[in-house]
Chain A
């Protein structure tokens, strides 16, 4: 299509100008002709202009230096193994958002959030809507299995159907229900809008469960969060959002810092694995300090 357009433009332009005018003038002329053409010819579908998302601070200086902050209207994926500081980073981001006066929501798939730690991190609890998924099974038997079919599509159904009779699936039905609740709550919050930051904490769920979420669901979330101006922060053990995330940060722990008989803190290394803008990998060091009141109580 561009080559055809170009041939057409060449045929319309004056040959004397090509020979005489300098390159900059010819470029300007070409821009003008293209502009006129764009005004005359309309496309069937106008693609929305891709704007560079605004970034807000993550609350951790080293992390901001690494990735430039958390993008608004996009998904940020933070993952790592247990005790790698994922929750600490999430609390810092929540603290920064509530300090800005924004209303935030935390979808806690495993009901693991500790309000005391959050307050110690500087989170203004009154500004955080905490949704504690309970995995409560519906009254009708077998509804948990239907959820796998309805919400997770054929992809999930194929896997779930194979394991339908297995003890593992039966045992983990409440975990699926928790995941279902988390996804539906995220849908409701993003549709409602108005939140500055929405956190989906899936870090406590086994990966076998978290992997069930198909990419179409994340793609839907990506589209839903774009116009809201909210930062959707997803916490996991391993990456599940993949290409739908604008920013992906992997956390690794070098060691836990201890002083004598006290747990002093964590040494965490953050790795930028995905950035839709920067397209580069950078490694920087950051550290997580100990929880003050806990140390004092010893």
Chain B
């Protein structure tokens, strides 16, 4: 058995897939260079309105009026629609032939073990195609040509029972046969056409058109009529090509499929008729594209670990004033800007992707009206993880990614934009510089702990560690006024986080001189931030500062307690630093 999927009015269907709200309206697709644009495809409602292929754009607009739209052909949407159709067929059968832009034929042998009867196979395929947002004809027959002819000639799902196949094929209109042949010549699938030059290809097409006209004059309307003609007489009048067409109409030819291995490229593209300026309508369009992309990934049982959004921006009229000449040249016809979502694990959740894109576009808007959209997903195998009973608490990667994106928005930072990360994982840097670290992306550490044997052994003694005195850093360090006596600080005053730290030094330890990276002067190390590549030389002091603090008087409660407050001394430990080169004092951290 072979199955074939054909999308009637493919050019219109590709646009309808991208804009499903037009399904209930008349749609005419035009092609050409304005003003010479002609209708090349129509949907059913447009035909009902009296439109026909070959009309000019003006004629189509007059006929359609407000009941429909006339749109230019969209090659990007056609590519996406074709890829979606191939993905849907690949979900059912691995042996696929990309026969034409609007037809895919596949080998259905052995599928009964997976899906059941041929009718169930057809139903499954129909469901898969519908998931991709496409309306297609599906046919199952004993050979590839019959399946393709039936898909082109019959609407909906057609399953050819072996006993009744000849009879059903006989009722097919001859248009299906010639449409198949013309598509084969255009795509180079025909053995002769593959080697033929463009001129010969044109001659073949002309011959096919002449043969179709001849058969129409003879009154041959369907396959049965062509099959009934005497072979010798047909050969005398139409030559060997006519005999071949007769064999096809009889369903006797058995050709081998030219199997293709569809590339795992998952990209949805859209050209917008008018530029979109605001985020909300842009998200509306992106929502559809991401849905389609996730459906395609699902059909191939794949996920993605990276999502790339490319946007072509419209060139503003005011750009000439605002931008320099070089910038204008670089902008050209319009700049393309890219947003990239790098995911910690492979996922396939359209809602999550849309929320992440929304958050990223919210923090980094495109900056100009968008005219073209491309969304591309890098395919990856699904995560084979399974939660175990003995796994320690850990957030779900999908939820965590969304939470992190929201936190980044809250902190007004955008990961990957060159700004310093404010939410992530601290990574110590290989340097002696005090307080040096760098922020890295936070990812859930998976140890593969899914059984009792692999669970962390909790030793009662190892659960406790000796507490260490910790530093609380002031970022950036605050400038301090320090009074010195006999080479030791006696009073310190500094303003930090809305309060003044001023007091007498009751104990001091130091100075400890540290210096480093003076050998890197003038150089910039690649793995460190530029600021950390600067040398340092300083004296550090540990000081205990006594500050007086008002406390409510004992025994009294409420506001009365503050009428005569008691002044108590609060002693805090700090690390103060003097830069040797500048002589400036800084309060760097507190001990806690």
Contact = CB atoms under 8 A, between A and B. Distances in A.
B462 A185 contact: no
Given A82-B572, A103-B445, A121 B467 contact: yes
Interface string B419-431: 0001111111000
Contacts of A57: 463-464
Interface in A252-298: 253, 256, 258, 261-263, 265-266, 286-292, 294, 297-298
A115 B465 contact: no
B464 A59 contact: yes
A112 B469 contact: no
B465 A204 contact: no
B322 interface: no
Interface stretch (A7-15, A17-25, A34-42, A123-131): A123-131
A122 B20 CA distance: 57
B331 to A, nearest CB: 25
A212 interface: no
Given A192-B399, A206-B499, A88 B467 contact: yes
Contact of B445 (A86, A119, A126, A131): A126
Interface stretch (B277-285, B302-310, B472-480): B472-480
B467 A172 contact: no
Interface in B379-405: 391-396, 399-400, 402-404
A83 B399 contact: no
A61 to B, nearest CB: 5
B426 A175 contact: no
Interface string B548-592: 000000000000000000000011110000000000000001111
Given A113-B473, A134-B422, A258 B468 contact: no
Contacts of B499: 206
Contact of B437 (A83, A102, A116): A116
A121 B395 contact: no
Given A114-B435, A192-B399, A205 B497 contact: yes
Contacts of A132: 411, 422-423
A248 interface: no
Given A91-B468, A194-B400, A256-B544, A131 B423 contact: yes
Contacts of A261: 509-510
Contact of A131 (B407, B412, B444): B407
A297 to B, nearest CB: 7
Interface stretch (A93-101, A158-166, A218-226): A93-101
Given A256-B573, A289-B466, A117 B471 contact: yes
Interface string A72-95: 000000000111111111111001
Interface in B489-513: 497-499, 507, 509-510, 512
A59 B394 contact: no
Interface in A26-53: none
A121 to B, nearest CB: 5
Interface in A152-180: 171-172, 175
B442 interface: yes
Contacts of B442: 129-130
Contacts of A92: 464-465, 467
A60 B463 CA distance: 9
Interface in B56-93: none
B542 A263 contact: yes
Interface in B446-484: 447, 449, 456, 458, 462-475
A81 B392 contact: no
A126 B445 CA distance: 7
Nearest to A56: B463
B424 A114 contact: no
B509 A263 contact: yes
A175 B497 contact: yes
B392 A100 contact: yes
A291 B573 CA distance: 14
B515 interface: no
B411 A265 contact: no
A297 B512 CA distance: 9
A121 B591 contact: no
A91 B466 CA distance: 11
A230 B394 CA distance: 10
A60 B464 contact: yes
A181 interface: yes
B514 interface: yes
A191 B395 CA distance: 11
A99 B456 contact: yes
Given A102-B394, A192-B400, A194-B393, A266 B509 contact: no
B410 interface: yes
A181 B592 contact: no
Contacts of B589: 114
Given A82-B592, A263-B591, A134 B412 contact: yes
Max chain B C-beta neighbours (<10 A), residue from A91, A188, A192: A192
A71 interface: no
B410 A185 contact: yes
Contacts of B412: 134, 136, 138
B340 to A, nearest CB: 22
Contacts of B444: 103
Contacts of A125: 425-428
Given A60-B464, A83-B571, A112 B422 contact: no
Max chain A C-beta neighbours (<10 A), residue from B424, B442, B464: B464
Contacts of B434: 116
Nearest to A209: B498
A131 B590 CA distance: 20
Max chain A C-beta neighbours (<10 A), residue from B400, B468, B471, B544: B468
B498 A258 contact: no
A87 B403 contact: no
Given A129-B425, A181-B410, A95 B465 contact: yes
B529 to A, nearest CB: 15
A145 interface: no
Given A101-B392, A175-B497, A258-B507, A91 B424 contact: no
A121 B468 contact: yes
B186 interface: no
B406 interface: yes
A206 B497 contact: yes
B392 A87 contact: no
A66 interface: no
A172 B470 CA distance: 26
B509 A87 contact: no
A76 B458 CA distance: 23
19 contacts: A59-B463, A82-B573, A83-B572, A85-B467, A85-B469, A88-B592, A89-B467, A101-B456, A115-B437, A118-B470, A130-B442, A133-B422, A171-B498, A189-B403, A192-B400, A203-B472, A258-B507, A263-B591, A297-B514
Closest 7 CB pairs of A and B: A194-B395, A101-B392, A115-B426, A87-B592, A196-B393, A192-B403, A87-B470
Given A99-B462, A125-B428, 11 more contacts: A60-B467, A81-B572, A88-B468, A89-B467, A95-B465, A116-B434, A116-B471, A131-B423, A195-B393, A204-B497, A261-B510
Interface of B: 391-396, 399-400, 402-404, 406-407, 410-413, 422-428, 434-435, 437, 439, 442, 444-445, 447, 449, 456, 458, 462-475, 497-499, 507, 509-510, 512, 514, 542, 544, 570-573, 589-592
